[in-house]
Chain A
Amino acid sequence: MFLQVKDVCRTFGGVRALDGVSLTVVKGEVHGLIGPNGAGKTTLINVLSGIKGPSSGEVLFDDRPVQELPAHKLAAMGIARTFQNIRLFPAMTCLENVLAGQHLVAARPYFPRFFCLPSSRRSERENHRQALECLARVGLEARADFSAKALSYGERRRLEIARALASRPRLLLLDEPVAGMRKQGVEQVGNLVESLAKEGMTVLLIEHNMSFVMGLCSKITVLNFGRTLITGNPEEVSGHPEVIAAYLGAGENHA
């Protein structure tokens, strides 16, 4: 199994943000994670990327238990992510953001640089080339030398994806990649995710834009109040009475 989440709980004080979530993500699939606000979607992504460990439960990545690992070790295993509230490096240019994202794949040893060896210049050029490639994938190659602060909202989201791609991850976690974007931007990101999946990358994404999720994901998991409501293909999920109830707000007292 590529990624398996087993009965994961995460509490914040008395709040059970995740209350026994289980799901399985298959390699090479685009897996959607939906649910009403406060359902625990972002918390799950935080658990999977090691930003916040689970209170209990098990996460298996490549059949290895990884729930205890810190974020940087999970990243080294091939898990990259973006953030709902975009976390770029504002003082850097777009290109520099992506170059920084190459941490896991670019060696950049200090002493060859100290002695100005040609090898360090060569590898720096290669890193630049790859960073520009990542920018081109998200359609930001023309913005390479812009300050990350100077980008529009949608461009920032795409730059964050480019930075995540720079580490050549195997599992990409996207937390609302098209939130607040206009139609054209949504399409652009949709095409990007599709092409990534074609190359064999696995994507787990949170999104409230239903047409985006339904059109892109081969499997969807619905969370509600920290629990898994259902996992299934888009048709199964969109027709499921509990999902409709969760979204339209029919609470327990009505159901």
Chain B
Amino acid sequence: MEALQQFLAVYGSLINFLGINSLLALSLYLTLAAGQLSLGSAAFAGIGGYTAGVLTMKLGVPYLPALAAGAVLAGLVGLIIGLPVLRLKGVFLAIATLAFGEVVRIAVLNIDITGGAEGLVGIPNITTTWGIYLSLAIAGYAIAKLRRSRIGWCFESIREDETAASAMGINTTYYKTLSFVLGAVLAGFTGGLYAHLNYIITPREFGFTVAVDLLIYNIVGGIRVWYGPVLGAVLLTSLPEILRAIGITAGPIRMAVNGLILLLVILFLPNGLVSIFQRRGGRKQNTRMDAAPEEA
């Protein structure tokens, strides 16, 4: 028992962060699942976090309604941004969402109610570890169940080939926007959880590097199945601790190791770490492919 308490005292915040980062990675996954490359998730988390924080701290709104309000506002902003921006494709979309993220960061820096560069200080510490993991469980289950539902098929079809998807009756604009808004809602909610974890949030915590980190979690974990982003988030978030355990002090080397992992995954496991678990299925498919006779 004492050992467990000690473990929690040392690693408690890491455990919380694993959950938060997994949730944020899942929020981006929702958008990536429909083939839309977004760098806006961190900004949506910021919108949710600041909204929920201001509501509980300055207006005395209860915790759960404040989280819901943060999620809804992030979703609304996602809708307003998504409709014009989703006309762009690939890297252009990424740049537009990146610009949106910077707009949000700079807005937060300059608005009085958010506390500017010093951050929003004194947010009540309400979020618990089990609250985070309950949210993760629900979000993970809900996202896992998307597969094979109407929405899931649409997302997958659009990701694979947007033109073909529209020709078979999928309203691609609607479903792309939906994927963007759903991602924004989950990011906004998670931002609210995060805001009530540490007494303080600052604009930097929702900046560009976080947006890129979230993308890396997805790439490293893999976006073919819902648990890929969680796997990536858990691995890369706990990496500094793992490095410390084997005697390498975190710091600059952490970025190098992150980069190395990313490189190795892209080179050898283009579908992410989850493809390790799917290897057997994949090999089976390959042998059958070899056995397939050529069309006579």
Question: Which residues of A come within 8 Å of B, CB atoms?
Answer: 49-51, 70-72, 75-76, 80-81, 83, 87-92, 99-101, 103-104, 106-110, 113-114, 124, 143, 145-147, 150-155, 163-164, 166-167, 181-182, 184-185
Q: Which of A90, A110, A124, A167 contacts B160 (CB 8 A)?
A: A90
**Is the CB of B296 closer than 8 A to any CB of chain A?**
yes
Question: Which residues of B come within 8 Å of A, CB atoms?
Answer: 141-142, 145-146, 148-151, 153-154, 156-157, 160-161, 163-172, 224, 285, 288-289, 292, 294-296
Number of A-B contacts (CB under 8 A): 111
Q: Which residue of B lies closest to A173 (CB)?
A: B167
What is the distance, in angstroms, from A70's C-beta to the closest C-beta of chain B?
Answer: 7
Given contacts A72-B172, A87-B161, contact A81 B150 (CB under 8 A): no
Enumerate chain B residues within 8 angstroms of A147, measured Cβ to Cβ: 285, 289
Q: Which residue of A lies closest to B149 (CB)?
A: A110
What is the distance, in angstroms, from A151's C-beta to the closest C-beta of chain B?
Answer: 8
Given A75-B168, A152-B295, output 17 extra A-B contacts at Cβ < 8 Å.
A70-B171, A72-B166, A75-B166, A76-B169, A81-B167, A89-B156, A89-B160, A89-B161, A103-B153, A104-B168, A107-B150, A145-B288, A147-B289, A153-B295, A155-B295, A181-B295, A182-B296
Q: Which residue of A lies closest to B141 (CB)?
A: A114
Enumerate chain B residues within 8 angstroms of A185, measured Cβ to Cβ: 295
Residue contact B161 to A108, C-beta cutoff 8 Å? no
Interchain CA distance A114-B172 in the complex, whole Å:
23
Interchain CA distance A181-B294 in the complex, whole Å:
12
Q: Which of B163, B170, B294 contacts A103 (CB 8 A)?
A: B170
Given contacts A147-B289, A182-B295, contact A92 B164 (CB under 8 A): no
Q: Which of B165, B168, B172 contacts A80 (CB 8 A)?
A: B168
Interchain CA distance A166-B157 in the complex, whole Å:
14
Enumerate chain B residues within 8 angstroms of A70, measured Cβ to Cβ: 166, 171
Enumerate chain A residues within 8 angstroms of B171, measured Cβ to Cβ: 70, 72
Interchain CA distance A83-B165 in the complex, whole Å:
12
A-B contact pairs, 21 of them (CB 8 A): A49-B167, A50-B166, A71-B163, A72-B169, A72-B170, A72-B171, A72-B172, A75-B166, A80-B167, A87-B161, A88-B161, A91-B160, A103-B154, A103-B168, A109-B150, A113-B145, A146-B288, A146-B292, A147-B289, A152-B294, A167-B168
